[in-house]
Structure 1
Amino acid sequence: MKEQDRINLAQGVKTIRENLPAMLEMAQLNAQVTRAKYLALVKEGFTEAQALDLCWRS
């Protein structure tokens, strides 16, 4: 592996580590939105299977 490749890899790892808390928070918020969408679809008359399928597609 070339020196520049190692430097680029190390910088990428550093960036991911710095952004990890925000990425985890985003994942949690996305899960909340998906659940709310699922529950809204069921409330509007979709079956649980239909609602789940629609959530997976979006």
Structure 2
Amino acid sequence: MEPIEEAVQELKELNRTNKRLLEIQGLQFALDPTRYIARKTRSGEAISDKGSYYQL
């Protein structure tokens, strides 16, 4: 395999992995949204917006 083909395959695998991780995060949010939001605010990925809303 050429280096470019190897890089393309690696990027495709990373894309598949990323999609799986997003799906898992969506399930975590659906099953327990308060815990998910609390974890995101602790890590700094979510910020408190007006009132009780959070921007994720």
Seq. identity, %: 8
Q: Name which one, 1 or 2, has greater alpha-carbon Rg.
A: 1
Q: Alignment length, in residue pairs?
A: 39
Unpaired runs of 5+ in structure 1? 1-13, 54-58
TM-score normalized by the length of structure 2: 0.52
**Higher RCO (Cα < 8 Å, 6 or more apart):** 1
Within the candidate set 48, 54, 57, 2:37 is matched to: 48
Unpaired runs of 5+ in structure 2? 44-56
Quote how far apart the aligned CAs of 1:19 are: 1.0
The RMSD of aligned alpha carbons is 2.4
Q: More helix per residue: 1 or 2?
A: 1
Runs of 4+ residues over 4 Å off in structure 1? none
TM-score normalized by the length of structure 1: 0.50
SS of equivalent to 1:47: helix
